[in-house]
């Protein structure tokens, strides 16, 4: 998620002048020179300015390439100005400095000196916001505000500090039941062998249904799964005076890809910029940056890298009039045709050749029924305008996402799917399921949380280079669910038609 | 999820003949007569047939309207046949009986008498599959198979029997961190006042970001939320010889709506059949049944009711050639245009009028920036073919779904959204977000689980008639998230443009 | 297409005062009373006002229910005011009157008295704008402006006055070649027998390709076509203070359907209001009015009828804040999911059962190849997000639209289609094509033009009740095109695979 | 449109043996060796085989690189075999030869020797199928079959031989009225100045409405139009044993792009292969070949070039199991997201800045109304799932397509559009319209027909390099239509609200 890049706050008058704080919300940088400071349009002599870093006050004039000031992401630098007061009201502050590696940056911000009203948010907080005390205070606060005594939400087995970076105002946990399915035999390039599948769900029959499908797959020799594509996106938009400049810009971007990539990749040791899809409309150029992101899902990684690239671009290209880091062409946490067509996260194909005797025996249905149903359901899918012509891949994906600490909101795009079935000349069933935009990680996000890490361990998906293994397992589980539900639906047809024929007896 | 309606299993030879079991997977019914039984095509004299119910054996000939046999959903009846053996191999069994309220039903099933191979699934199970012992056995099984010792997954605060109906092979829990946000002031028709919001997530900054948005909404007088539509679907397909019969069938359905509704509603004390959308293509008639479902999400309820209605229809209409209870026109757990257009679950609109000074002060951005960005993002959305022209409603929805025991896979359809913004003449921001297919429940599914129930209590969303209150709160939370992220994105524009202008100094 | 409902023009000072003209752009009405007239905010005594109808001047005060003034669509009434001048500049005029059947109407318009600048448009015009002279003048004008001498555009075989109502500034014709295909055997409910098919096209091989397909269909016993649905839409939007009012409005509309329908139908002797689809989002209620429209395509008919209904609604419902007669939910001349799902114009299904020997002999391809290709193409369609999973229905539809005087821009929505194929147990091919939104007419629009009328006569599609016959023929032609191109594509596969296998010899 | 590549026909027994004909439906090639011929599985000695070219019979054994046999597209070579008869029934013929530049090719075809039934198609034909006689015969045939005397269809001003390559079975013309609009001032890169616009249509008010819009644009200084992208596609699918091979194939294609391009471009002097979009699903690799095509629309050009490339690929890659030249990922003559996102034909943006006084004076509506309506219509578009959030671009495009000899069926994809409006701080209206997939040509297709050529001349769009000029003019015309209809709709709002307010007086 994005944040303002630099924000100014805590504007106030001090005894000897005024002060405020600047927070770095961009990414790691080093200040190598303060160039100017203006308050409400007036230049302030830099000799009157000090920077507060930790406990010490540093004269602004001393910041230089030889005496740089580290200013990492989330760092706050206080700025003190002697001899000028601001008073109540809204004030504008313009700052220009030089940073490494981003060069000269200047920005203009406003802040207000106000009488603080009552806090809009009464939730207890503390400096160490993950301490036992403050968590207990929040739990009591709930009881006070709502009358609800917590007996379960407040029970968890791990050190809450572990959730730092995963949740703010930690107050307890949701305990989601895990049912065990499998083993499932997976013939992947990364996942090879039998896997026990922990499914976190509250939907009755889900585990049983997937388990039946796994039995079919196992008896068919296992499920073959392949990760066929892999990329994560951020899609800024550049706005011009007219379409003509946006078209020229597209060409410029193509010509400067190497430099753009180098700048983007300077912000990450893992991410690689693969290519940029540029789409033009009106006077806008949407650039969909595609990165590889290692074992991380990578949304934050590519956000930072894309912003760095865009900052560099903005330095080079005069014709840009406005810029947003995102404008719904990525498309994060949403189902979209661009994700289906151009991939987001992993593109995974699971396949199996299911002998007709296996299907008949385990699921009590013939391949022809499933195949016929798939054809009819394709028409239904077309009429409905749906992002998945299969049946319920979201069920298995969600249960595994919760169990393994994925960002579960990515079910939105991960729910897309393409089912394809075929009958062999021998009457066996070829069944495949393509997940075009599966967002998974084995590093970062919630993957290090306590139960989540254990579930990843059960799957053998921890450590460097394990993310494709996880993607393959998920693909296999999804196919199990499809074969199971497809069989159930098709056997309804079979029962029903008998009921129908039976009524005339 | 669907299942076969009646399944036959446990076929075996006995000392005096043969036996098998029939399981009712349809819905509650009462047998009022056994009409015939054929084994491998041969009629079996009914005098040789007994039904095993509990411990007693009931002669098949005694079943009658005056001596009915209850055969509820999931019941199993054993059938014993004297004087006939079957031997190893696959056998066909045809049964015809009469049931109330579904009349004469006959079906043909096959089962095999086989040498059992090794179990495909080695997961420990027991008759009481939620006992401490069997759960521990499964946990040990994980350790044996994978080497992973469980320290966290196996820690939960509730009686595992509570998960009966929610999960099979219960083995532990996923502990998902809950961060507390709010209070949020909601001006709904059902939710009125301030609400503390428990968000279950592992995505850092999510709680903080939503919290900022809630602050904006609170300072704007709260968020107005309205449930504008409410229906849950199942969409069977009827297949005919040609399009002409399908067209005539559509008219027949329209003319017989009252009887169809009565039959559907006979299976549920809560669900009401509101209307049927019939869509024709090829020789198919897709009927999208729309029900109200009270406080339940209702997928199972409407599945049963729709099947009952379809059974009745199949009795009446000779021209149907095939039938499936589902063919991707519902569309369950998938993002689709039909859900966006015609609603699935609750259709919820959240609105707020945000004074420009509130937005400027809290989010450091002006209404014009958000408004402009929304216009650009609409173009991005159109190019991407996305199911949501807003920003990240899936984030808040998912966090609340996990916390409150919803079927989280429904994030697939619940992720759809329509954002609409406007500037008032005074420069304030009207912001609305429409969730066209929000699937929520306060009854059934995972809503009675331990932590989930507590979170519903925190929201005051328990008891009869509380589901719209929950829907309104979720709508309000979603709007908070939109205003927060939209502001962050727009302020990037603002910073960046200043950086750009600044570089020429 | 829409126009302003009443427009004021020709504002000018006269010798004795001022005058202007009001044009009725709404629909037929009768004035039964003039209630007030204000000029620039000042009430004008009605005794000073006269209405100029034809050559006579009628005192405004005499208009009454007993002395009504017919004011039909497109009528212009001049209004003369004694004793008041306006002078150069922009002026506001407010009028209130009573009309039958629309009751009291008042509106405010502005017009300017200006020095006319040079004409932006130098195209010669005349009072009789279809006269030989003015047409010749326009042709000369082309030559003068562009140097192009017309030798062909200016050659046509009909009286140009015939194009009144079809085109403004008539200057000549496009001569589009017509190729003859067929006969095609159609087994419709309206079209029965063999039909010669005039195809207006410039795309080489199109006629030959369709002809081949017709041969296949003929040898298969003909094509069965059915019109399964029929409705034409206009979709106004009503805008409220908030979603809550829009939801209540939806219920109000449902409750007042009978009155709404009566009002809508008062404007047309043919159109019938079938039902209204109301969709809510933000604070908007989109009402998609569905009409039957007889032999006309009906866009104008339903526009007028919907506006009449909306006028009545606006009289009844106080809470409406804004209103537009159209806001992209109809959706006219655009491809859309709502058209595919809910029909626009005729919904037509063409079907054929093609014996394998016919397909093999005529097209040199086996049913299995087409069937297999259709399955693969379904995946391609899904990935592409296309409005038609078939091949090229737009080709045949366009050629017939041009030939028969349809509004060819409706190819946009008429291009949608659903192909469905199946193999019978005997290896024959069931092939169907559904056109969900075929916009056709045999009355109105260009259907009375000279060559267009002849083509309709060739098809036997003139006179009352002929539109479904035309729809059926078009459906049959489309299926011929699909079978032809599908065969060609599939035989490529067959050739290619042989080439491939052959290369190793 | 596609055709079989090589077809065999006219199989028959002759006095001394048998004969048949092979037609080249692929593209120009030269035979440099006949390698084998088998009839019904038996090798035929090549010494018994002769090739009939024109009047001479050439021994098969003499064909060699030094005595090559030209075998151009559409050429037919007769093959005579001595000493073998086939008799009635179906026979299989396998041929292997070498060609330049495609190397060894072998294929297997079947043909039947049958008793010819009655002709399915009784339409008169002749060797010179464009002669006056045969055309007259067809016209008489129409009269005989249908009773319709042609008075208009049979009147045209050009030599029918001109339609060779445009239409088969030429029988007359559709005379479509042309109305004149403009002049329109276009500020393009190719089209600069004022243009008279011939619009071929039968839809009343269309010309007048577009004319009004042109007046607005002219008074705003003209319309700025830019062609921002340009490519034409063919999208074959390659089918493998599993997804894994398809993924490896994608990499292979990327690595061999230069050779693929060279092969593709060997078939055309104009087309250039720009890039290939490869999308994977199931075991399929869809390759969307993107070409530049000069002044032609290029569908046939890219079909041939793509096939040549695919033939080469098939020679190289053993793992391909099946192949189709098209599988709905191109997507020709259909509206699709891939066309909107990735362009098909020209991507054209038309823009104008319309001063508020111009809009108010000419259209009697304020910019705010149009802007507000556009926002509401965006919501309608989203709900409808439409391919165009504008109003009616298909109207102007279709009228120009008919007038200028475009393939009018391409209205299907050309109907897509993106409207974007903005208000400037001064209250003026920025309006842009993006046509993402405009298929146009000034060379090939119907552009050389008589009236069509004249209309292109009127627009100054003939000769080399004129296609972008035409695209720009069409873009400008479309924007004129949008501003005109948008104003009309918005003024309805204005009238209506006044009517509404007025009712309380």
> Which of B201, B166, B505, B484 shows the shortest CA–CA distance to B352?
B484
Q: Is C106 helix (H, G, I), strand (E, B) or coil?
A: strand
The neighbour count for residue A60, using CB atoms within 10 Å, is 25
| C108-153 confidence digits (pLDDT tens) | 777 766 544 334 458 999 989 999 999 999 999 999 999 999 999 9
The residue written with tokens 């009590």 in the block is A364
Chain D residues with CB-CB distance to A432 below 8 A: 243, 282-283
| D130-160 confidence digits (pLDDT tens) | 999 999 999 999 999 999 999 999 999 999 9
The neighbour count for residue B166, using CB atoms within 10 Å, is 25
User: Which 8-state DSSP code applies to residue B115?
Assistant: -
* Buried/exposed D265-303: b ≥16 CB within 10 Å, e otherwise: bbbbebbebeebbbbbbbbbbbbbbbbebbbbbbbbbbb
The neighbour count for residue C131, using CB atoms within 10 Å, is 14
Which of A104, A334, A379 best tests the B interface by mutation, with the highest count of B CBs <10 A? Answer: A334
Chain B residues with CB-CB distance to A206 below 8 A: 1, 167-168
The full 3-state SS of D452-493, as one line of letters, equals HHHHHHHCCCCCCCCHHHHHHHHHHHHHHHHHHHHHHHHHHH
Cβ <8 Å between A326 and B415: no
Cβ <8 Å between B322 and A372: yes
**pLDDT of D441 above 90:** yes
Cβ <8 Å between A382 and C418: yes
> Which of C14, C35, C430, C32 shows the shortest CA–CA distance to C224?
C430
Which pLDDT score, from 0 to 100, does residue D493 have? Answer: 53
- Compute, in degrees rounded to 10, the torsion defined by CA atoms D82, D84, D90, D92: -70
Closest chain D C-alpha to C83 CA, distance in angstroms: 26
C-alpha neighbours within 13 Å on the C-beta side of residue A87:
1
Helix axes C356-363 and C206-219, enclosed angle (nearest 10): 150
What's the ipTM?
A: 0.84
Please tell me the distance from the alpha carbon of residue C84 to that of residue C44, in angstroms, as a whole number: 9
**Which chains would you list as touching B if contact means 3+ CB atom pairs under 8 Å?**
A, C, D
- Decide: B156 and A150 in contact? Cβ < 8 Å: no
Please tell me the distance from the alpha carbon of residue B87 to that of residue B68, in angstroms, as a whole number: 32
**Which chains would you list as touching D if contact means 3+ CB atom pairs under 8 Å?**
A, B, C
Cβ <8 Å between A167 and B178: yes
User: Which 8-state DSSP code applies to residue D125?
Assistant: -
Closest chain A C-alpha to D411 CA, distance in angstroms: 19
Q: What is the DSSP string of D63-93?
A: -BTTB-EEE-TT-EEEEEEET----SEEEEE
Helix axes A393-404 and A450-458, enclosed angle (nearest 10): 120
The residue from A245, A407, A413, A482 that is catalytic is A407
Closest chain D C-alpha to A433 CA, distance in angstroms: 6
A2, A314, A382 ranked by CB distance to B488: nearest: A2
Which pLDDT score, from 0 to 100, does residue D344 have? Answer: 98
Please tell me the distance from the alpha carbon of residue C449 to that of residue C466, in angstroms, as a whole number: 17
Distance (Å) of CA A81 to CA A78, A89, B402 = 10, 18, 49
| C292-315 confidence digits (pLDDT tens) | 999 999 999 999 999 999 999 999
Q: Is C72 helix (H, G, I), strand (E, B) or coil?
A: coil
Chain D residues with CB-CB distance to A337 below 8 A: 337-338, 341
A228, A250, A283 ranked by CB distance to D246: nearest: A228
Per-residue pLDDT band for D26 (boundaries 50, 70, 90) equals: low
Chain D residues with CB-CB distance to C175 below 8 A: 156-158, 173-175, 449-451
Please tell me the distance from the alpha carbon of residue B7 to that of residue B105, in angstroms, as a whole number: 14
Which pLDDT score, from 0 to 100, does residue A74 have? Answer: 63
Cβ <8 Å between D385 and B337: yes
Which of D113, D174, D222, D298 best tests the C interface by mutation, with the highest count of C CBs <10 A? Answer: D174
| Range D23-41 average pLDDT | 81
Beta partners for residue B34, in sequence order: B97
Please tell me the distance from the alpha carbon of residue B205 to that of residue A73, in angstroms, as a whole number: 14
Spell out the alpha helix ranges (H) of D345-435: 356-363, 367-384, 393-404, 411-414
The residue from D149, D203, D368, D422 that is catalytic is D203
Strand boundaries in A268-374, DSSP class E? 272-281, 284-292, 322-324, 345-354
Q: Specify the pairing of strand B223-234 against strand B170-187.
A: parallel
Closest chain B C-alpha to C279 CA, distance in angstroms: 7
Chain B residues with CB-CB distance to D388 below 8 A: none
| Range D296-302 average pLDDT | 95
Q: Please indicate whether residue C128 is annotated as part of the active site.
A: no
The neighbour count for residue A50, using CB atoms within 10 Å, is 21
Chain B residues with CB-CB distance to C349 below 8 A: 242-243, 280-283
Nearest chain C residue to A432, by CA: C379
The residue from C295, C407, C428, C482 that is catalytic is C407
* Cis peptide leading into residue B474 (ω within 30°): no
Q: Name residues of chain B where pLDDT drops below 70.
A: 1-9, 25-28, 54, 73-74, 102, 110, 112-121, 492-505
**pLDDT of C73 above 80:** no
**pLDDT of D488 above 60:** yes
| A346-386 confidence digits (pLDDT tens) | 999 999 999 999 998 888 889 999 999 999 999 999 999 99
Please tell me the distance from the alpha carbon of residue D254 to that of residue D241, in angstroms, as a whole number: 20
- Decide: C469 and C188 in contact? Cβ < 8 Å: yes
Which pLDDT score, from 0 to 100, does residue D271 have? Answer: 97
> Which of D479, D34, D503 shows the shortest CA–CA distance to D217?
D479
Radius of gyration of chain A (CA): 28
Q: Which of A251-265, C112-126, C211-225, D292-306 has the lowest mean pLDDT?
A: C112-126
Return the higher-pLDDT residue of C28 and C453: C453
Residue by residue, pLDDT tens for chain A (505 residues) are 333 456 666 788 888 888 888 877 666 678 888 989 999 888 999 999 998 876 778 889 888 888 888 887 667 788 889 888 888 777 888 888 887 776 777 777 777 665 443 344 589 999 899 999 999 999 999 999 999 999 999 999 999 999 999 999 999 999 999 999 999 999 999 999 999 999 999 999 999 999 999 999 999 999 999 999 999 999 999 999 999 999 999 999 999 999 999 999 999 999 999 999 999 999 999 999 999 999 999 999 999 999 999 999 999 999 999 999 999 999 999 999 999 999 999 999 999 999 999 998 888 889 999 999 999 999 999 999 999 999 999 999 999 999 999 999 999 999 999 999 999 999 999 999 999 999 999 999 999 999 999 999 999 999 999 999 999 999 999 999 999 999 999 876 544 433 443 333 2
Q: Which two tokens stand for residue C7?
A: 């427009």
The full 3-state SS of D407-420, as one line of letters, equals CHHHHHHHCCEEEE
Cβ <8 Å between D340 and B383: yes
The neighbour count for residue A70, using CB atoms within 10 Å, is 10
Please tell me the distance from the alpha carbon of residue D328 to that of residue C376, in angstroms, as a whole number: 9
Q: What is the DSSP string of C393-418?
A: HHHHHHHHHHHHT--GGGHHHHT-BE
Q: Please indicate whether residue C35 is annotated as part of the active site.
A: no
The separation between CA D297 and the C-alpha centre of its own chain, rounded to angstroms, equals 6
The full 3-state SS of D295-343, as one line of letters, equals CCCCHHHHHHHHHHHHHHHHHHCCCCCEEECCCCCCCCCCCEHHHHHHC
Chain C residues with CB-CB distance to D336 below 8 A: 384-387
Distance (Å) of CA D84 to CA A270, B163, D40, D48, D110 = 71, 80, 11, 9, 16
Closest chain D C-alpha to A157 CA, distance in angstroms: 42
Cβ <8 Å between C383 and A418: yes
Cβ <8 Å between D458 and C215: no
Q: What rounded mean pLDDT belongs to chain C? A: 90
Nearest chain C residue to A421, by CA: C375
Which pLDDT score, from 0 to 100, does residue C41 have? Answer: 86
**pLDDT of D75 above 80:** no
Cβ <8 Å between B434 and C280: yes
pTM tops 0.90: no
By a Cβ cutoff of 8 Å, what residues of chain B touch chain C? 189, 224, 226, 228-229, 242-244, 246-247, 250, 279-284, 337-338, 341-342, 347, 349, 351, 385, 418, 420, 432, 434, 436
Strand boundaries in D153-249, DSSP class E? 170-187, 192-200, 223-234, 237-239
| Range D273-285 average pLDDT | 98
Which pLDDT score, from 0 to 100, does residue D1 have? Answer: 31
């Amino acid at each position: 998620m994005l944040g303002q890049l630099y924000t100014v706050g805590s504007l106030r008058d001090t005894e000897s002048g005024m002060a405020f704080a600047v927070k770095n919300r961009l990414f790691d940088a080093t200040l190598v020179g303060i160039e100017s400071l203006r308050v409400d349009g007036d230049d302030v002599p830099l000799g009157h300015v000090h920077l507060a870093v930790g406990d010490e006050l540093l004269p602004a004039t001393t910041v230089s390439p030889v005496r740089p000031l580290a200013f990492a992401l989330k760092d706050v630098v206080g700025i003190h100005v002697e001899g000028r007061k601001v008073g109540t009201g809204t004030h504008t502050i313009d700052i220009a400095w030089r940073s490494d590696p981003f060069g000269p940056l200047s920005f203009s911000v406003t802040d207000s000196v106000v009488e603080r009203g009552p806090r809009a948010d009464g939730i207890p907080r503390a400096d160490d916001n993950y301490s036992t005390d403050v968590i207990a205070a929040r739990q009591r606060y709930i009881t006070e505000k709502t009358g609800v005594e917590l007996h379960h939400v407040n029970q968890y087995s791990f050190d809450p500090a572990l959730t730092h970076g995963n949740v703010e105002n930690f107050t307890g946990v949701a305990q989601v039941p895990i049912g065990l399915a499998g083993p499932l035999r997976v013939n992947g390039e990364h996942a090879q062998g039998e896997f026990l599948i922990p499914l976190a769900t509250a939907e009755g029959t889900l585990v049983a249904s997937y388990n039946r499908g796994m039995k079919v797959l196992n008896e068919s020799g296992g499920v073959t799964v392949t990760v066929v594509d892999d990329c994560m996106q951020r899609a800024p938009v550049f706005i011009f005076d007219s379409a003509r400049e946006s078209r020229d810009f597209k060409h410029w971007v193509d010509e400067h890809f190497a430099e753009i990539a180098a700048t983007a990749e300077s912000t990450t040791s893992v991410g690689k910029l693969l290519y940029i899809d540029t789409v033009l409309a009106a006077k806008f150029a949407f650039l969909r940056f595609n990165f590889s992101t290692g074992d991380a899902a990578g949304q934050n990684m590519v956000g930072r890298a894309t912003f760095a690239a865009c900052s560099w671009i903005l330095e080079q290209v005069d014709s840009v009039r406005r810029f947003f880091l995102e404008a719904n062409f990525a498309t994060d946490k949403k189902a979209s045709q661009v994700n289906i067509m151009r991939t987001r996260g992993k593109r995974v194909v699971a396949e199996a050749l299911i002998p007709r005797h296996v299907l008949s025996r385990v699921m009590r249905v013939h391949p022809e029924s499933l195949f016929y149903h798939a054809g009819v359901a394709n028409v239904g899918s077309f009429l409905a305008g749906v992002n998945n012509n299969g049946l319920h891949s979201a069920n298995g994906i969600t249960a595994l996402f919760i169990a393994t600490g994925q960002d579960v909101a990515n079910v939105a795009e991960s729910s897309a799917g393409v089912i394809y079935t075929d009958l062999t000349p021998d009457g066996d069933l070829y069944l495949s399921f393509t997940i075009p935009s599966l967002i998974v990680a084995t590093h970062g996000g919630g993957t290090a949380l306590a139960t989540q890490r254990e579930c990843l361990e059960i799957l053998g998906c921890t450590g460097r280079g394990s993310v494709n293994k996880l993607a393959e397992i998920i693909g296999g589980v999804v196919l199990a669910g499809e074969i199971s539900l497809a069989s159930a639906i098709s056997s309804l047809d079979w029962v029903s038609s008998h009921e129908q024929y039976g009524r005339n007896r």
